[in-house]
Amino acid sequence: MKETIAKYLSLVKFAHTIFAMPFALAGFFIAVNQIQEFNWYLLILVVLCMVFARNAAMGFNRYIDREFDAANKRTAVREIPAGKIKPLRALVFVIINSVLFVLTTYFLNENKLAFYLSPVALIVILGYSLCKRFTSLSHIVLGLGLALAPIGAYIAVCGKFDVVPVLMSIMVLFWVSGFDIIYALQDIDFDKSQKLKSIPSWLGIKNSLIFSFVLHLFSLVLVMLIGFSADWGVLYWIGGGVFSVLLIYQHLIVKANDLSRINLAFFTTNGIASLIYGLFCVLDILF
């Protein structure tokens, strides 16, 4: 049983939940701060929504890309091409998590806005996996999928939209799109050989890094706009400052003539950036 669970956790790269979860928690506590009421039950539901949605998205990505993964030396060790998980079981896993996500949203708030929007969210997060077959902007779609975290968590509590969580979602959109372009650099030759579309296969390495940097500059501008748009204290600015430095840092360690530290930039740097920003947002609200 433990081995099976471990296989599915590996299938969806559960550790990568670190990218979106802190922003979902930030959106949740922004809402809590507005209504001045904390609810453990609601927090658990928000976390479950995040887990189910991400499981569905990653599981579908692995299922739909299984033939490409098998042909790519870098990804041939993944669970489906390696024969650790059968494709049909992966698809069932996706369906179960999708259904659980929609059902969980039903219990979030009285006006059911999150529930009504849940199919739209599924279309975005599942649709990303198909995008690279017809558009080089698949990185933007991935960013949009993760950008649903803060606004989704806010809606779960308040049942409406608001400026600050929307700005935070836009910031996440630019941030994720930027670092996904960097991550895609390692598959540039494979994408070209398989006629898959991406920013790197379209623009080349040097221009892709420039594109990514511009997106991250937009993200940093949004960090400041968020800070000025609400009554944030010093803790927010510390978290935002560290986040900004780490975004710039990844562009210093990944260069057109040296892609050896892509994994360091992708997971370690961005994972820490997400944790720090989300944590200091929550601490600023609480204290």
What is residue 259's three-state secondary structure? Answer: coil
Across residues 209-223, what is the average pLDDT? 97
Q: Has residue 2 got a pLDDT over 80?
A: no
Q: Which pLDDT belongs to residue 3?
A: 83
* CB 23 within 8 Å of CB 47: no
Q: Which pLDDT belongs to residue 265?
A: 82
Q: For residues 270 and 29, what is the distance between their CA atoms, to the nearest angstrom? A: 22
What is residue 255's three-state secondary structure? Answer: strand
Chain centre to alpha carbon of residue 52: 13
**Could you tell me the CA-to-CA distances from 23 to 16, 178, 270 in Å, in that order?**
13, 17, 13
Per-residue pLDDT of 172-209, as tens digits, reads 999 999 999 999 999 999 999 999 999 999 999 999 99
Q: What range does the domain containing 88 cover?
A: 2-286
What CATH number does the domain containing 221 carry?
A: 1.10.357.140
Percent of the chain's residues with pLDDT above 70:
100
The whole-model pTM stands at: 0.95
Helix residue ranges, H only, 159-233: 163-184, 188-193, 199-203, 205-229
Total structural domains within the chain? 1
